[in-house]
Structure 1
């Protein structure tokens, strides 16, 4: 092994040329881009790289962060990217040399072509020929409501009943998880719980062999804990699944077929490709401004149009005075995910104009950035990061204001939140002195746990404490639960309060524990009976000559301090067990 001492400066110089960047915050972000997680990489010829112009209009970049690729390049990705095999995504989030963004299939391109736009190029100077895959549109992601989106929809005249109905359905589905092994297996698979241990497969296989995993204390406790965590996600974060909704990558229409306020949205499902048509709701998280939720028209495209071959994506029009992604909480197309809803019950009765925040110019120090400049920026960022404080304050005031998120104070906080999001890249902090005073009490749905006492007589008066008094004191309240809490909570009469109070987690947990105790006590443990079953089925299979080899592998793969105590292990070379 070649042992070479590497200094940080030498490593950064190999990544690319950052000398032209005069902002410490921006320079740190660009360097960090090279260290973001990637799933795989493919190598393509340098001749395949093409630079194409951005689509700009009225000072807006409609193609901000997206490019295209030819079928030949995409085929190489399908072959070399393990996550794409069998799924064949047509939308990829990539990192190549100093470029970052999303590329989509353009069936009109011939040969090997990877088309990058100027908006995708973050820095120059890299000589790496690998196209690194950061993500792919393998399937449509589920769409979950959250408190920000629910509050805005409520203020846009969506009634309470659809939210309560969706939450009740989600809780009932969790309750049914413990009713049967197949429900439990589906739950683990959908929520990616125990994926490395193949927990979903194990439970399903045990069921086919005639065993119920509930008989095993560990597996039963795992299920009950996972279900309770999901219930708490719904109760304390309002994370509610929308069946008629997707979360997808966004790109720009390269063909020009989409008109202003039109989208093309298609998803590859088990039964085939589903294309949305008609009016749909579209948004992006985080959403604090009422204009962050818009209604647009989804259309089909002819079969001879290149968009027809794309799936698991929402395609935005390249026309209009302003690009639609920027209207949705300042989104772009370099990998942002957009939420699309086609549930008529969640359509807003009114639409608010989108926010139009000025694009902040990063701090310019007038010279090349040095390591000390970036270190100082990180310290400044940690001292002045107000993002969580603004979001919490916005939620409190939106609950108390008659017009909710449409209140001028909430509109101001939405703008400050946008600036706080950009702080890490601009170096411009949001002063706490710009924030309004927070009220003495919070709505009950912000309570950190079930032990909080709700005061029905508390008022909404503003606190006389200075604004730099910590808002985030939930952990301290729980730690001091024997004394009076520093934060007082009142029952909110808005939809978030109703959703919060509709779930009794203690009652729910008692119900699933009762359902889990359905199995009669057995003379032998589950693992012992599984071992007996497998031994019987594998009685005529030659496998004992692999015992010594298996022991060697086991001993080499785990440190002695981490090895579990010995117990019967299933060691089968080849078997077809039905």
Structure 2
């Protein structure tokens, strides 16, 4: 309630009034309203009255509190409050502002004097300047020398200064220039170590950073402005969308003269202070910042490791080498594992190795060589027994080369690699300062890659990220747009040079664009002698002026059509022209709505042929007695879905106008983006819970579902079967088939191996992953709810509002038909109308078309009515969108809301046909204008803050803006930040705090009373202390691997024969006894042991590469643990969980391919008898056990164990056990 205040002195402040009134309402007589001090808000109107005083309003948390206050301090009271003058209070004649009332009710009272003290402390710390005499960027050498690669000093002894900003938790280094101030910003979290001491006569500070600092420049008068109250407002979100001209600029380097070495030398900084007093000032600042400070600093030398001459010499050498070798060598330097001079010293050895052993050998060796190079940076004083290699890189190279054995050709090119559906992809990651090279990794292919099967190494997948590897985010105080154009836009327009080869921007897929990733290509010549360029590839894709001549006038739409050729697909089967039919779309009477938007049909015979072809290319595909009834496809210039039509005869497909995007008649191969052969599990999420709650679903429903999920996670460690089901429910361990292997072990009566540290850590990481998903995303599994692809009722059988659903689960449940009231929705949900209730018709009547074809695992939508139901669900269509369906009555909303209209936004058109230069402009703009995630989280925050929840006008506006942001990649019109509504209050709900925040600041976060807030607080995440132990143990194993990379083969064979499996652990003994039921598991051929030992080495090398390239850390030598990779999770906390999710996704894809490759190699060539495959699998498993102190051995053992059980199953099936 608001109380009007009069007679406020003109010089009185909000803080003074707040303290005076708080002294009253925090008295004992008010404790009946709240056991804790109540909050209040003060507003003082700007315009003074004639007598010079001002008026204002105090907002109190409730009417009862306001009435009590007025009873003692109102117009007829005798008690007074003085702030210079006697304040006069009376009931306000205007309703209180709802957002202010909510903020007062939710937020704790914070004494303004405490806030003022904090601000004064921050300003005090800012005033403590460390005077800089000389600033140096360099390289931390292996002999503990700091090689100065760039420096600036001042003749008068003062170059600049360094200050500490407590609110931002960062050190800021300033250097005055002629017209700009150059700034290096070091956030506390970036610091790996920092030391200070006197080196000779110079007081020195040395920073070793996990990632480069942020480089900025500013005009001299802005060096310290805006870091006080303005900063607080920014952090609290008040000015997030107040677009003002940014004051500062961002750069890829500290100073123009630093540009040539910045990408290599920005993570090591040496500061020579003006005096020893500055050293003491810095030590005091480190104490305030809680930064651990070492008392030692490395000595400095000028070794010119990255001089222009050295870089030129290195690049010219790379030009003489084959591209694949040059890529691996430059990758070592770009990852900061070695400097160019160290590799140049190895030049003679490298060139001899190429001459003697050949290119494949050299490439395999260089990828392997990265392991001991990485381990070099892991020395820890506490781990003396594992002291790393002490020589030079050249000596380490020689040591590794002497013991390296080239894997067999079979291991170099595993049989699982299908050239039609997988290809080896090279990766480049470009950040504001650095560029990192990775790969090659097997990735799912696309139309363009299949067109050039011998030139995959000419393509690069290039990602644009922050130094932290997170998605690019703009600081409103920095001109980020100009920086993105200068840094990333320059590569898109001018190309990038790697290993002396120039690559040009080519295109992107729609999914890759969302991840800020694109394709680059270098000019090449095919084996047939045809020259290929980026321009010729685009020209070969088809005619983009047909059927829509206006398409090429919209760069975004033009690029979206090109992107169809880069969608990850599987090649299936060729289609003759006479097998392609055209049919019209089914429209509503007005012609506005399309009931078959994006979906055509396919005959049963063709669907079976497509599925047979897909399975033939997957030797390890699971057995299937049927075929999918729906496929997401790319065919010629069309895209969308094909669902089975039982009336079509022969091998036939039918396309509709809504599917055909451009003309590409030369392509006759059906490309499969996805085959919907099974129903998908369904999980709740925060936006959907927010909507369902406000449509009448009680909190207790969500609570019960979450409680069950928590119990399942906590009980997972009690048995192998429970653990297996948990992994299966959350898609964990799928790359290594852990669910299947654990269930097989459970059937043998084996208990969880509690004394196996690796297994325990593995399951700890799995449980942590599940609980983290529940707490931070409300990702709650729902039994009897499914994600199903949408298709159209082409027969016109269903009435408006009806659906037909036939689900065939894969977990042993009986198939069933949905019948009755069914909740239908689609992710993402952001509007109350995105959740609807349809009527499922149940089992098909005998006379219905569904009696002939039930279209299993699909949602069949009606083609009758005024508007298609999919279009009501977040603007969905039928080109591959997946819909959630459940008959659970407890999740059914008590009321439904009219769907949003989802009016298409206008296209951004040019007055001429688009070029790829225009597409590059669009990608550059997208990097800084992509606001989809921002809009989604703003909607959720306002829905939590507002008393009207999701029905708040701002939420309704945001749902429209969200639709525009979804369409932005296809129409080129970005959503202006100025259109995005501001938050209702400064504080945010507690569930929005980044997971990296361990203690919530009550001035920034309030306890949300919405369901998602209560669910968030209901889960306490266990501290995963074992991650540190796992990382430490892995470092030790890798160092031991590096020191004894390839032990004598005879020693391996002798150890194998000497070991007795009956003296091993319980699991090994049980497996041994099971294997003995089928084969003699005693003596084995030495050649077989040798072959599988080589396979094990190749596996560990590739696994190491995956671990190093999928870590969130940018620190030199950082990598994931083997336990994380086998489970398929990343334990590290992240302020952008989406980035971790993307990394986990690619990591799982690559480990799945690797595990499948290794499994096929263990199984043997096609045609190998199951008994022989079982022997091979047992030998591989024993090798893993005997070498379990090596990195990769434990996960290799799980792969081998899976092959053991697969072979046994084949033997039993062939001999009639089933």
Taking structure 2 as the reference length, the TM-score comes to: 0.42
2:635 to 90, 93, 96: 96
Alpha-carbon offset, residue 528 of structure 1:
5.8
Does residue 1035 of structure 2 align to residue 493 of structure 1?
Answer: no
1:47 to 578, 586, 592: 578
Is the contact made by 2:697 and 2:891 (CA closer than 8 Å) also made in structure 1? yes
Question: Once structures 1 and 2 are overlaid, which stretch shifts more, 132-141 or 334-343?
Answer: 132-141
Does residue 827 of structure 2 align to residue 285 of structure 1?
Answer: yes
Is the contact made by 2:598 and 2:879 (CA closer than 8 Å) also made in structure 1? yes
Alpha-carbon offset, residue 455 of structure 1:
5.4
Does residue 897 of structure 2 align to residue 357 of structure 1?
Answer: no
The residue that corresponds to 2:751 in the other structure is 212
1:124 partner SS: coil
More RCO (CA 8 Å, sep 6+) = 1
Alpha-carbon offset, residue 389 of structure 1:
1.2
> CA 1:556 to 1:14, structure 2 compared with 1: closer, same or farther past 3 Å?
farther
Q: Deviations over 1:420-476 (max 9, x none)?
A: 1111111100111111222311111112228443456x5xxxxxxxxxxxxxxxxxx
The residue that corresponds to 2:603 in the other structure is 70
Alpha-carbon offset, residue 314 of structure 1:
0.6
1:544 partner SS: coil
1:60 partner SS: coil
1:381 partner SS: helix
Does residue 739 of structure 2 align to residue 197 of structure 1?
Answer: no
Alpha-carbon offset, residue 558 of structure 1:
4.7
Question: Once structures 1 and 2 are overlaid, which stretch shifts more, 269-278 or 561-570?
Answer: 561-570
The residue that corresponds to 1:443 in the other structure is 989
1:176 to 694, 712, 715: 715
The residue that corresponds to 1:303 in the other structure is 846
The residue that corresponds to 1:479 in the other structure is none
Question: 1-side partners of 2:894 and 2:1081: how far apart?
Answer: 67
The residue that corresponds to 2:778 in the other structure is 238
The residue that corresponds to 1:228 in the other structure is 768
1:134 partner SS: strand
Is the contact made by 2:717 and 2:752 (CA closer than 8 Å) also made in structure 1? no
Is the contact made by 2:750 and 2:1067 (CA closer than 8 Å) also made in structure 1? no
The residue that corresponds to 1:348 in the other structure is 893
Question: 2-side partners of 1:440 and 1:177: how far apart?
Answer: 41
Question: Once structures 1 and 2 are overlaid, which stretch shifts more, 50-59 or 522-531?
Answer: 522-531
2:791 partner SS: strand
Question: Once structures 1 and 2 are overlaid, which stretch shifts more, 196-205 or 347-356?
Answer: 196-205
The residue that corresponds to 2:1022 in the other structure is 506
Question: 2-side partners of 1:566 and 1:286: how far apart?
Answer: 44
Alpha-carbon offset, residue 509 of structure 1:
10
The residue that corresponds to 1:268 in the other structure is 808
Is the contact made by 1:279 and 1:298 (CA closer than 8 Å) also made in structure 2? yes
Is the contact made by 1:148 and 1:395 (CA closer than 8 Å) also made in structure 2? yes
> CA 1:283 to 1:420, structure 2 compared with 1: closer, same or farther past 3 Å?
same
Question: 2-side partners of 1:44 and 1:557: how far apart?
Answer: 42
Alpha-carbon offset, residue 539 of structure 1:
7.0
The residue that corresponds to 1:466 in the other structure is none
Question: 2-side partners of 1:201 and 1:226: how far apart?
Answer: 16
The residue that corresponds to 1:430 in the other structure is 975
The residue that corresponds to 1:331 in the other structure is 876
1:134 to 673, 681, 688: 673
Q: Deviations over 1:5-30 (max 9, x none)?
A: 42112112222112442211111111
Question: 1-side partners of 2:906 and 2:815: how far apart?
Answer: 43
1:61 partner SS: coil
Alpha-carbon offset, residue 563 of structure 1:
8.8
Question: 1-side partners of 2:1099 and 2:760: how far apart?
Answer: 29
1:286 partner SS: coil
Question: 1-side partners of 2:1102 and 2:1070: how far apart?
Answer: 22
Is the contact made by 1:79 and 1:85 (CA closer than 8 Å) also made in structure 2? no
Question: 2-side partners of 1:245 and 1:509: how far apart?
Answer: 35
The residue that corresponds to 1:461 in the other structure is none
1:353 partner SS: coil
The residue that corresponds to 1:7 in the other structure is 533
Alpha-carbon offset, residue 567 of structure 1:
5.7
Alpha-carbon offset, residue 551 of structure 1:
1.9
Alpha-carbon offset, residue 183 of structure 1:
1.0
Does residue 766 of structure 2 align to residue 247 of structure 1?
Answer: no
1:177 partner SS: helix
1:105 to 644, 662, 668: 644
Alpha-carbon offset, residue 161 of structure 1:
0.9
The residue that corresponds to 1:453 in the other structure is 999
Question: 2-side partners of 1:267 and 1:274: how far apart?
Answer: 6
Alpha-carbon offset, residue 550 of structure 1:
4.8
> CA 1:29 to 1:505, structure 2 compared with 1: closer, same or farther past 3 Å?
same
Question: 2-side partners of 1:249 and 1:123: how far apart?
Answer: 24
Give matches, 1:143-158, under 5 Å: 143-158=682-697
Alpha-carbon offset, residue 319 of structure 1:
1.1
Which structure is larger by alpha-carbon Rg, 1 or 2? 2
Is the contact made by 2:764 and 2:1024 (CA closer than 8 Å) also made in structure 1? no
Taking structure 1 as the reference length, the TM-score comes to: 0.86
Question: 1-side partners of 2:822 and 2:742: how far apart?
Answer: 38
Is the contact made by 2:630 and 2:644 (CA closer than 8 Å) also made in structure 1? yes
Alpha-carbon offset, residue 542 of structure 1:
8.0
Question: 2-side partners of 1:98 and 1:263: how far apart?
Answer: 30
Question: 2-side partners of 1:452 and 1:437: how far apart?
Answer: 26
> CA 1:561 to 1:238, structure 2 compared with 1: closer, same or farther past 3 Å?
closer
The residue that corresponds to 1:472 in the other structure is none
- The size of the alignment, in residue pairs, is 536
Question: 2-side partners of 1:343 and 1:204: how far apart?
Answer: 29
CA-atom RMSD in angstroms: 2.9
Is the contact made by 1:216 and 1:526 (CA closer than 8 Å) also made in structure 2? no
2:557 to 26, 48, 51: 26
Is the contact made by 1:106 and 1:306 (CA closer than 8 Å) also made in structure 2? no
Q: Deviations over 1:63-122 (max 9, x none)?
A: 100011112111212321216943411111111111111111111112222001010111
Is the contact made by 1:17 and 1:126 (CA closer than 8 Å) also made in structure 2? no
Question: Once structures 1 and 2 are overlaid, which stretch shifts more, 214-223 or 234-243?
Answer: 214-223
> CA 1:122 to 1:541, structure 2 compared with 1: closer, same or farther past 3 Å?
same
Question: 2-side partners of 1:408 and 1:69: how far apart?
Answer: 45
Is the contact made by 1:65 and 1:102 (CA closer than 8 Å) also made in structure 2? yes
1:135 partner SS: strand
2:1090 partner SS: helix
The residue that corresponds to 1:313 in the other structure is 858
1:92 partner SS: strand
2:928 partner SS: helix
Question: 2-side partners of 1:93 and 1:543: how far apart?
Answer: 50
Q: Deviations over 1:350-395 (max 9, x none)?
A: 2111100211232221322211000000001111111111111111
Q: Spell out structure 1 runs of 4+ moving beyond 6 A.
A: 507-510, 563-566, 569-578
Alpha-carbon offset, residue 186 of structure 1:
2.3
Unaligned segments of structure 2, at least 5 residues:
1-453, 455-525, 616-620, 1027-1061, 1104-1182, 1188-1196
Alpha-carbon offset, residue 272 of structure 1:
3.8
